[in-house]
A and B are shown apart, each in its own frame.
Chain A
Amino acid sequence: MNPLRTLRQRLRRWFHERLPRSDTLTLTQRNVYILPTRAGWMLAVTLLVLLVGSINYQLNLGYLLTFLLAGSAVVGMHIGHANLRGLTLHLTPPAPVHAGQPALLDIRLSSERRRDRHGIGLGVIADGGLGDTHLGWADVPAQGSSTVQVAWTAPRRGVHALPALTALTLFPLGTFRVWTVWRPAATLLVYPAAEQHPPPLPAGQPQAGPTGPSTTTQSPGEFDGVRAYRRGDPQKTIVWKKAAQAFATGRNELVSRDALSAQRQQLWLDFAQTGTHEVEARLSRLAAWVLLADRLGLDYGLRLPGTELPPDQGLAHKTRCLEALATC
């Protein structure tokens, strides 16, 4: 890699590390930066040529034109800086995503100024610097706010600090780039990517309990321990979730938990028994199984090296399991 580029990246990282993390950032004189763009330098050269032309041909109107353009550019510089200064950026903590999926960062821009703010771009600062950054654009109305969504894909599962973001404007003439660097405090939880076509759920395991090990083995496919409702089944064994789905599709069928199997069989998603060896592949499969089991409305437990989540169901349980998978 180009050593200069590496050096610049390192400098940028060092600079970013120094910034305090915060989910709300109000832009002031101190954290808004401004530098001429390439177009700005082009304008400077144009102004110089105009000036030399005016001097050489002794054109007083040429002077007027040159100085009016220069004055407008100077005013444009101030307008551009004021366009960003005083803006407040607020990040809503992002929802967890699976590895490989882009996380959407919702950023609210609010302004107390009595004039509109135009053309403010937000984005995650790319490795190549601001020039490579992909930006989402927004106008902020006077004394109002608007929202920009910035997508960011985390490199792998785990808890990630959000990358440095930038708010940038080229308004009004494109001759000055006014920008800020913002390190949000929020973190992003990234679950392992769910395997695309996972194998069926593993067979249930006999429940260790007073009844002792059961001799009944279930054929694959009946692992879930549900069967059609039979008259006399106690109400609490009815799988209401399934019932609701069935009613919704127009069938009047009830499904009961097979008391026997529900008591005797427990679904354990075990890190050691995924059928693959590679750690990430195992986690990926487990994540897929968690999602599958949750969709089927089963009780399931998760066994990871050093962690064990007892069988349960529901959203909170699913989240707990995925979190465990993300952070193990």
Chain B
Amino acid sequence: MTEPEQSYELATARLEEIIRRLDSGEAGLRETLDLVKEGRTLVEYCAGELEAVSQGLDEIKLDELIARLEAQSPEGE
């Protein structure tokens, strides 16, 4: 069984859902603690995604990328 693919938009959508539930004040103590734990995991994931596109612009020409990929590809494959 594979886990559903995570994405920034899915993570932020779930995070918003969690905060709405918490802010409603309807969650009990156990649910609140579970939601907070899940929310913090999502925040970490999202922060990682933002960090990945904040490392500084990395520009490469398509020809060079193809050449690099072909060089990496094992011969005969």
A in complex with B: no
Chain B interfacial positions (CB closer than 8 Å to A): none
